[in-house]
Amino acid sequence: MKRRHFLNQSAGLTLGVMGGTRALGVLPGSGPVEQPRKKAVVQPYPLAITMWEFSWLERRWPGAGYEDWDRALSELVDRGYDAVRIDAFPHLIHHEPEKEFMLLPHWSVQDWGSPGINRVQVQPNLNKFLEKCREYGVRVGLSSWFRKDEEDLRLKLDTPEKLGEAWLSVLASIQEGGLLDTIFYVDLCNEWTGPAWCPYFVNDPPEAVWTGWHTDKSREWMQRSIAVVKEAYPRIPCTFSFTGEVNSETLTKKGFHMLDFLEPHIWMTSYNGGEFYNRVGYAFELFDQAGYRNMALHGEKVYRENIDYWKQGLTGQIRMAASWSGQENQPLITTECWGVVDYKDWPLLDWGYVKELCALGTAEAAKTGRWLAISTSNFCGPQFVGMWRDRAWHRELTDLIHRSPVSKELSGSLLAARMQETAGA
């Protein structure tokens, strides 16, 4: 990667604790809106975190939610959140950071990212976004869904070392902009070893995909790729995020010493082998609305018919994850979670029961003392209007997160130390 300076560092921006005074103002391209406090209340942990994945860069057309970063971040802070997890597009930065790439849609039915083809330029936009995050007191976790471009450059990451080197390119470009102090962790791959997000990796056995992160080959890849990053950036916590039902079998998956923390994605819908979606008739369709038709017709009905059963399926997974954290003596972060995996503003889809489950999951995770950062859902972004507009719901849960305890032994973790360092950035 050619070394270049992506931002003028003369701005000298700093973080601080700001008051809660608000005034009525006007944002570009909008009518009068309530202007919340400028910066988040700075605290080390636990943090209230949300996932803005690749939407922060892709969804910038009018009305997509992220066309005005000031507005999006201002509303995020006003809802009590301290951190975001975003896609840094490492394969694209590693190839050519300032090139404009054509991205192909991963789906058309979801509201994460683009439903059609789109063009993105990762740098200097990544550093510009990080500069905004610093201004608003929002810390950033980096991840990647390895979005597919026309050349499918992600397939070039066919060794653990190449994966690690791609992340070195990201961190070097951020460091050149003087913004490394905004980053509090790196998740080298979202939901490892799912083929949708890491098609460059073939597990052993090959059929061990979404829940195959515990295999010997997977461990080797995690170990070797993280080692590349750690050699240059030993103070930045690294992990790989996972998905799949968290149950007693999870406790048999031991020895993840290469990870600085665990990031399981936990949903009620994963319980009992995906029973809820099986009963509803939702099959993660990417370009077909059939799944959402079934969710509209059957989703809430199936939930309401046996509320306690589904709630226990969620809380049991959370307690199991806390036990796994204690067994491994590693802290937890969860950024995708609690109710249903997929949802959106759509006819006959009510947010009520989704928020009910998400509130339960947030509270259950918070009281365990094992999470250093907790999300309230994976729909906490401006494109999900029905979830985003309920400011009081978000503030109640983010306040709960901030009041929650943290187990004493986790205060000595690298993740806790990095959170302390970035709190005063």
Residue ranges per structural domain of the chain: 38-423
Interacting residues of 53 by C-beta distance below 8 A, sequence separation 6+? 85, 86, 87, 112, 113, 143, 145, 190
Q: How far apart are the first and last CA of the chain?
A: 27
Q: For position 259, what pLDDT does the model report?
A: 98
Q: For position 398, what pLDDT does the model report?
A: 98
The whole-angstrom separation of Cα 79 and Cα 397 is 9
Where residue 373 falls (left for φ over 0; alpha for ψ -120 to 50; beta otherwise) is beta
Encoded tokens for 256: 């993840």
The whole-angstrom separation of Cα 368 and Cα 323 is 9
Q: For position 424, what pLDDT does the model report?
A: 64
Tens-binned pLDDT, residue by residue, of the chain (425 aa): 444 445 433 332 222 222 232 222 333 333 334 444 567 766 688 999 999 999 999 999 999 999 999 999 999 999 999 999 999 999 999 999 999 999 999 999 999 999 999 999 999 999 999 999 999 999 999 999 999 999 999 999 999 999 999 999 999 999 999 999 999 999 999 999 999 999 999 999 999 999 999 999 999 999 999 999 999 999 999 999 999 999 999 999 988 999 999 999 999 999 999 999 999 999 999 999 999 999 999 999 999 999 999 999 999 999 999 999 999 999 999 999 999 999 999 999 999 999 999 999 999 999 999 999 999 999 999 999 999 999 999 999 999 999 999 999 999 999 999 999 998 65
Are the beta carbons of 377 and 394 closer than 8 angstroms? no
Where residue 218 falls (left for φ over 0; alpha for ψ -120 to 50; beta otherwise) is alpha
Interacting residues of 284 by C-beta distance below 8 A, sequence separation 6+? 277, 291, 341, 342
SS3 392: helix
Q: For position 423, what pLDDT does the model report?
A: 81
The three state secondary structure string of 343-368 is CCCCCCCCCHHHHHHHHHHHHHHHCC
Q: Give the C-alpha distances (Å, rounded to integers) separating 27 from 33, 243, 380, 384, 409.
A: 7, 38, 21, 20, 45
The whole-angstrom separation of Cα 418 and Cα 184 is 6
The whole-angstrom separation of Cα 157 and Cα 198 is 9
Q: For position 25, what pLDDT does the model report?
A: 31
Q: For position 425, what pLDDT does the model report?
A: 58
Are the beta carbons of 136 and 36 closer than 8 angstroms? no
The whole-angstrom separation of Cα 125 and Cα 114 is 17
The whole-angstrom separation of Cα 363 and Cα 372 is 14
- The pair phi, psi for residue 58, each rounded to 5°, is -80, -40
The whole-angstrom separation of Cα 310 and Cα 15 is 42
The whole-angstrom separation of Cα 229 and Cα 249 is 30
- Give 38-423's CATH code, choosing from 3.40.1280.10, 3.10.50.40, 3.20.10.10, 3.20.20.80: 3.20.20.80
Place of tokens 């994850």: 321
Q: For position 39, what pLDDT does the model report?
A: 75
Q: Model-level pTM? A: 0.91
Q: For position 44, what pLDDT does the model report?
A: 82
